[in-house]
Structure 1
Amino acid sequence: MNDTTDVAAPAADTDSHVEARTGTAAEHPDLAPIAERAAAPAVLDPPPADLGLTWRPLAVEDASALTELVQVVEEADGQPFRTSTEEIQEELAADWRDLTRDTLVGLDAQGTMRAWAQVDSAPGDTRVVRAFVSGGVHPLWRGRGIGRAVVAWLQGRARQVLAASGKDVPGRIAAYLEDTAPASARVYRAAGFTPIRYYTEMRRSLRDPLPEVPLVEGIRVVPWSDELDDAVRLAHNESFADHWGSEPRTPEQWQGHRAMFAPTWSFVAVTDDGEVAGYATSGRYEHDWEVAGYSSGYTELLGVRRAWRGRGVAVALLATVMRAYAADGVDYAELGVDTANPSGAHGLYARLGYEVVHSSTMYSVEL
């Protein structure tokens, strides 16, 4: 589980109509063109050969070998999860990815992967154009300057991606770093990244009494279905338009993060006339359970459209989700939240019995 849950709980009171908040050059008259602000290098070389590795782009066929390396790094850094081959394969196969230009893997003399780097820019960005960077170095190959070289390459490629976007809106190069790995944070800080947002992972025991599912007038909570899926996407885009760091998701992006999707643990709040008022989608990360020491259901997305906030829709969805997890015999309900979420989501979860168990930080270069 590498992504923090998106949460739009019921109390937010800023405008959430996505069409009214799209970023255009006219809305940012004081900004120079993104190509100028990005200051992208004309030529970007891989890390130097004297670091002991040879470099090439990643391919979808590398998913299994990359998973082995990623999991070694996660274990060394004390992370309470493991990334699966299915998740990595899905990332590498995304239609909008240019693996030839946006990825690198460093190989030792025996051809074993020892370091990697990836840049990903979401195609749906309209208000802030973002380039997300990630990578890592095998623990036996640390202390040689490889990490610094990887981050330098990541930042250079991210600047090229942003410059080429043609989106003359604020820009961001962002890295999500687990707080269990302070050495990684030091490398990014040295490269000019600064902490900009803080996230927590929370869990709630399903052995404790579960909250009642409140009745919300005019609303039914129904199982997720293919027929409702795109309406849920549009409701998500609307619900999160007023949340820091959130951008509209295209249909391709929406479908591109389904490796661990659990449809039987996902629910939609619909109105009497069939409109989507809110939603809760879940992931089933069974490969994390041994590392964590318990089984869990993970609430990936929770959102309520502005017109339906303040009526208990979020509680109805979460309570329904908890019951679905418990019915399948898992131990905990989990989710992640932005600690500065404007909707008061952190407090809502605490009232429902969720407790903080882990944290991460977004480091960024703002352009």
Structure 2
Amino acid sequence: MTTTEPAATPAAPALIPIAQRAQAPVQVRLPADTHGLRWRPLTPQDVPALTRLVTRIEEADAEPFRTSQDEVDEKFEGGWKDHARDTLAGVDADGELRAWAQVNQPPGDTTVVRAYLDGGVDPAWRGRGIGREVLAWEIDRARQLLAATGKDVPGRIGGFASEQATATIALLQAGGLTPIRVYSEMRRPLGTDLPDVAAPDGVRIVPWSQDRDDDVLAAHNEAFASHWGSEPQTVESWRAGRSQFAPAWSLLAVDDATDEVAGYLLSGRYEQDWELAGHSSGYVELLGVRPAWRRRGIAPALLAAVMARLAQDGIEYAEIGVDTENLSGALGLYTALGFAPFHRSSLYTIEL
């Protein structure tokens, strides 16, 4: 009897250095001054004006949310950001902001280095070619940031667009970005028939506490290590952007035997969205279970527990976002617990 060994899987071709793949320009392309705008970096002093501009853009694009001034202020958090080089403001003759942009390269990226694009043009100033030139500046700066990481792993330039923001979608596609992932926002009413899901034996659900935040970060990085599009967070990036964080609606699943954090659910409270939506809501920002504790019912127990807390506080809906192609079964879990989609967006990228 003879045996044959399976053929070896061909090795993936080695990537050329990120500095070459990024094709970073020496100088970024600034928008033309013929539009009647003066171009400069954003500063923290621009936060009130930038908030007004972001609101006008969200209204014009029929977004189901509004970005608060506190959230705009958070765009300047993070010691890894170079605001003088990573932001752009277009200011008219009266000193009002009419266009803005920011490129962010998260500091913890290891397997894919990413540069995210954010920005927009005042609806009253659209149709003049400003958006195309701002996007060109963003892509140039993103290429510079990716090249500067020196991390010879795949690279990604990405920007998000809601499904109804057709002008933004057309702009991104004209700039060479293509849709790669679809995300769905889901909600569930809390008035009746809340799920009753107990924590599994040996695990207790407890409130989030500041003294366990480092443990939650470690659990998050482990839980999301295999998720598409996720990269490790640093301590600084983890603790940034918490103006809407709701500790009272955030929970931990703790192993009784080891006192380890097995899973976690972190929520946000976006009161500025409630009038627009016509109801109050609590938003589940992050939900994760570490691999050793999976398939024991921890995720549904955390969701059931937070829904009960929200309802007790008089909140009308629970909301959560999901990657529709998530292989963990998250979409099926949320659907089974009564969540239904109400908004979709896509990630558009240039893959390097």
Return the TM-score normalized by structure 2: 0.95
Report the counterpart of residue 345 of structure 2 in structure 1.
360
Displacement after TM superposition at 1:46 (Å) = 1.6
Length, aligned pairs only:
341
Contact kept, 8 Å, 2:207 with 2:248, in 1: the verdict is yes
Report the counterpart of residue 31 of structure 2 in structure 1.
47
Structure 2 residue 313 is matched with structure 1 residue 328? yes
Contact kept, 8 Å, 1:294 with 1:331, in 2: the verdict is yes
Structure 2 residue 208 is matched with structure 1 residue 224? yes
Displacement after TM superposition at 1:205 (Å) = 0.1
Could you tell me which amino acid in structure 2 is paired with residue 290 of structure 1?
E
Contact kept, 8 Å, 2:29 with 2:136, in 1: the verdict is no
Contact kept, 8 Å, 1:177 with 1:360, in 2: the verdict is yes
Structure 2 residue 85 is matched with structure 1 residue 101? yes
Displacement after TM superposition at 1:60 (Å) = 1.3
* Cα distance in 2 for residues equivalent to 1:240 and 1:274: 21
Q: Deviations over 1:131-167 (max 9, x none)?
A: 0001100110000000101111110000000011111
Could you tell me which amino acid in structure 2 is paired with residue 287 of structure 1?
Q
Displacement after TM superposition at 1:29 (Å) = 5.6
Displacement after TM superposition at 1:208 (Å) = 2.2
Alignment map for 1:87-126 (pairs within 5 Å): 87-126=71-110
Q: For the aligned residues, what is the CA RMSD?
A: 1.0
Contact kept, 8 Å, 1:35 with 1:166, in 2: the verdict is yes
Alignment map for 1:228-243 (pairs within 5 Å): 228-243=212-227
Q: Which runs of 5+ in 1 are unaligned?
A: 1-26
Displacement after TM superposition at 1:93 (Å) = 2.5
Structure 2 residue 289 is matched with structure 1 residue 304? yes
Contact kept, 8 Å, 1:220 with 1:270, in 2: the verdict is yes
Contact kept, 8 Å, 1:175 with 1:363, in 2: the verdict is yes
Could you tell me which amino acid in structure 1 is paired with residue 311 of structure 2?
A
Displacement after TM superposition at 1:94 (Å) = 2.0
Contact kept, 8 Å, 1:282 with 1:299, in 2: the verdict is yes
Report the counterpart of residue 276 of structure 2 in structure 1.
291
Pairing partner for 2:324 from 327, 332, 339: 339
Displacement after TM superposition at 1:45 (Å) = 3.5
Alignment map for 1:142-161 (pairs within 5 Å): 142-161=126-145
Q: Which runs of 5+ in 2 are unaligned?
A: 1-10
Could you tell me which amino acid in structure 1 is paired with residue 319 of structure 2?
E
* Cα distance in 1 for residues equivalent to 2:272 and 2:156: 32
Q: Secondary structure at the match of 1:92?
A: coil
Displacement after TM superposition at 1:88 (Å) = 1.1
Contact kept, 8 Å, 2:187 with 2:318, in 1: the verdict is yes
- Among the aligned pairs, what percent are the same residue? 58
Q: Secondary structure at the match of 1:357?
A: strand
Q: Deviations over 1:16-64 (max 9, x none)?
A: xxxxxxxxxxx97611100000001111132000122111101112111
* Cα distance in 2 for residues equivalent to 1:319 and 1:228: 22
Contact kept, 8 Å, 2:182 with 2:324, in 1: the verdict is yes
Contact kept, 8 Å, 1:203 with 1:354, in 2: the verdict is yes
Which one has the largest radius of gyration? Answer: 2
Structure 2 residue 281 is matched with structure 1 residue 280? no
Contact kept, 8 Å, 2:29 with 2:140, in 1: the verdict is no
Alignment map for 1:142-291 (pairs within 5 Å): 142-272=126-256, 273-291=258-276
When structure 1 is superposed on structure 2, of 42-51 and 163-172 the one drifting more is: 42-51
* Cα distance in 2 for residues equivalent to 1:60 and 1:89: 7
Report the counterpart of residue 69 of structure 1 in structure 2.
53
Q: Secondary structure at the match of 1:321?
A: helix
Q: Secondary structure at the match of 1:93?
A: coil
Report the counterpart of residue 10 of structure 1 in structure 2.
none
The structure with higher relative contact order (CA 8 Å, sep 6+) is 1
Report the counterpart of residue 7 of structure 1 in structure 2.
none
* Cα distance in 1 for residues equivalent to 2:208 and 2:150: 36
Q: Deviations over 1:88-132 (max 9, x none)?
A: 111213221110000001011111000001000100000000000
* Cα distance in 2 for residues equivalent to 1:175 and 1:188: 8
Could you tell me which amino acid in structure 2 is paired with residue 350 of structure 1?
T
